[in-house]
Amino acid sequence: MTVAVEFSSVSRHFGAVRAVDGVSLQIAEGAFFAMLGPSGSGKTTCLRLISGFEKPTAGVIRIFGEDVSDVPPNRRNVNTVFQDYALFPHMNVADNVAYGLMVKGVGRAERLRRAEEMLAVVKLDEYGGRKPGQLSGGQRQRVALARALVNEPRVLLLDEPLGALDLKLREAMQDELKALQQRLGITFVFVTHDQHEALSMADSLAVFNEGKIAQIGTPEEVYARPATRFVADFVGSSNVLPPDMTQRIGGPAAWSSLRPEALRLAPAEGAALAGPVTALRYLGAGTRVQISTGSTEVAAFVPAGQPLPLPGQNVGFAFDAADLHVMDRA
């Protein structure tokens, strides 16, 4: 495996604040890698460390084996797509895309030719003469992508680029981004706080919390086998059960995770988990049914079309033993 980006015990401190605290990771060449976490978890600072806009307080950053810890941004073979796109409003689309080539001294005819080629890649080949203000949010996002890609970076950094789009457009752009990355084969490093974006697009992801990596793995590994209570709570929706309850339902005396979709309704008598219904939440594709087991609230996802209990009714939840995930660390 060729490693595109490597962090070795990297930290970035701002006074007493440890924005990034001893992070080590490897991102493979050609991967779509997501950095996922809440605001202030360190993911965006890591992206800025890769781009060179921040310098590490400690540790080493390598891009394709080269130590770039002290290399300025303009000498790194990476480009960044920002959430606000940062397009020049007075320039047309083609000139926006060609701007980086102009800075590098590429002749006008050549840079416009390459800009038009890249606009065709992002399906905007007929929009070169328009101004950014004449485009939709999704189109402006594609222009920002084309501007970053025209410089042929080996690593493309994306800082929550879909955050300003509405839900339907964001979902459509997720598919387009993934397809574009697969077609070009460039390493994408994608920062987001949206778990659905990370799970649906990434080949692998790192979940950040308080400047550290809580878990690294494929989306399937992180979702099905969260390493900590934080990961179980943050990535998707989960029932995080304390050791005494885990033991009561057949597991060891340790913290565990049960995803709501792994639970199914059952008669209260004899059920491993049972109690009165405290909430019913309609979610379109199904309903979230929540019960109180005394010390802990537990929720199940009931697909649309299945019978639902009434509020206050005593019901049970059944599950397969394989779906009870005992977490390695608290």
Q: Do domains 3-232 and 259-326 have the same CATH topology?
A: no
The domains of the chain are located at: 3-232, 259-326
> Looking at residue 207, what DSSP letter applies?
E
259-326 classified as CATH 2.40.50.140:
yes
Task: Map tokens 């005396």 to a residue.
Answer: 253
Task: Return the pLDDT at 223.
Answer: 94
Summarised one tens digit per residue, pLDDT across range 193-216 is 889 889 999 999 999 999 999 999
HSE at residue 306, side-chain half, CA atoms within 13 A, is 16
Give the pair of three-digit tokens for residue 204. Answer: 């692998």
Task: Return the pLDDT at 175.
Answer: 85
Task: Return the pLDDT at 152.
Answer: 86
Architecture of domain 3-232: 3-Layer(aba) Sandwich (3.40)
Can you state the angle between helices 137-149 and 108-121, rounded to 10 degrees?
130
Task: Return the pLDDT at 51.
Answer: 95
10 Å CB burial of residue 71 (0-12, 13-18, 19+) is: middle
Q: How far is it, in rounded angstroms, from Cα 239 to Cα 296?
A: 9
**Which sign, positive or negative, has the C-alpha torsion 278, 280, 286, 288?**
negative
* Phi, psi angles (nearest 5°) of residue 145: -65, -45
Below-50 pLDDT ranges, the chain: 330
